[in-house]
Structure 1
Amino acid sequence: MIRKNPIKFFLLALILIALDQGVKLAVHFYMAPGFAGQVKLIGDWLKLHYVLNPGMAFGMQLGYEYGKLLLSVFRLFAMVGIGYYLVHLAHRGAPNGLLWAMSMILAGAVGNVIDSTFYGVFLNNAPYGSPTPWFHGQVIDMIFVDVWEGFIPDWMPVWGGQYYSTPIFNIADSCIFIGVCLILLFQRQFFGGHTLEDGLLPISGPDATQAEVLPMSELVTNEQPRNQSNEPTDSLSADDEPQTNSESVITEEPKRSE
């Protein structure tokens, strides 16, 4: 088995986490929230727009009292699980593309976990009425791709009848989105038909419990007759020994010279 060192993949995750946190802190300290501090990057469709997200990715929220706490705890378990799975894949010799994608997903998960866990305490941005600032920090979003806005039809569940614009997200959300898209797009290369050259060994050998028992009729028909066997025989059987007939043996006496 070709084992791979997961350090370089964790290093990529660490770089992305540092980039995500650096941008969030810069936006928090140097930008005004909302439209007042909005900065246009490319035309009117790509902007920096500082908002606080008390819920999930891309501006979505959990509406009940302890939804944020449950979401933060779930993110913690997801972060640990993704990190363990990344190490497992590296030791199995998984393709590098899959490992890079998993490291991006891990970076996104950790980036948002930091916001939820600590920002309520150190940045004092927990929503009003939160039972505790720990695990109730709001995630800082700033990337605004402004391509559509308007009212959602009333027949749509959850968000029907509300004014809505394209989501505002952050670098951590982007890492998760890109990592998941890479896995979906290249899943055949990542999970299917790997050889030794690809760095993956078969998961397991043939299982004796899955052996099939052929009917006796197929065994008889498939059995090669003995007299057609091409294998050389070292000795003759008793039935194959040559028989000599004493009557057929002619002995001639030597002629006497007269």
Structure 2
Amino acid sequence: MFLGVSTLGCPGLPLDRVARMLRRHGVGGVELRCADDEPVHTGLSRAGRRAARAALDGLRLVGLATYVRLTEGAAGLGEHLDLAYDLGAPALRLMPGGDGDPAPLLGPAAAALADAVVAAKGSGVRLLVETHDAFLRGADVRRLLELSGASHAETGAVWDALHPWRAGESPVRTAVELGPWLAEVQVKDVASPAGRRPLVPGAGAVPNAEVLTLARAAGFTGPVVLEHEARWYPDAAPIDDAIAGARRLFDRV
């Protein structure tokens, strides 16, 4: 396993400053949030994309965190695939979408993922679905991935440590459900399922250490990404403190 940091924790920060910050903490990987208010988005020119790659200064690009939603037909996927190709990103994070009961959303979401896999074929970009939205549990995402008919090489799962836990699924069960689909682990911390202000990893209630231990025991060798949701919470713990906490957590497991 190797450690990375999502730019969700430092919204709008220029990429050269992101690179300096991560190197200062001994972190070699970065996941780029793609949005109009970030340095990286689908409207970047070719020159802007070359500049973005140069600004990362050799950091390992884990992938692009998109807001493409499967329950909305994966609208915008093509533009994000082009961006991933130009930046050399190996993966796109997709959101399952929806809220409430995932059962009636499962068929449409799986069909959209199957179509997305066809669109991505030959690009070298793997499509990853996060435990999020209506599909909070590992069991929900596993069903979606299996129903799509895609292979493990084409698709995978992002295990966000917060959401299956707050939905009542134990880390042991999530690890079993995601199994060979597991492509990325996201760590973050909060005080409780209802108290969602981002804390320094290790200071809250999310069972991050157990999640990482289970992932390592299962033979997972992919990225562990700190997703510190500072973009949504202005009172979040400082990003430098969060990275230091994630580094301590990662080094102990």
Shared fold (TM-score, shorter chain, > 0.5): no
Which protein is bigger by CA-based radius of gyration?
Answer: 1
Task: Return the structure number with greater strand share.
Answer: 2
Query: Which of 1 and 2 has higher RCO (CA within 8 Å, sep 6+)?
Result: 1
The TM-score with structure 1 as length reference comes to: 0.19
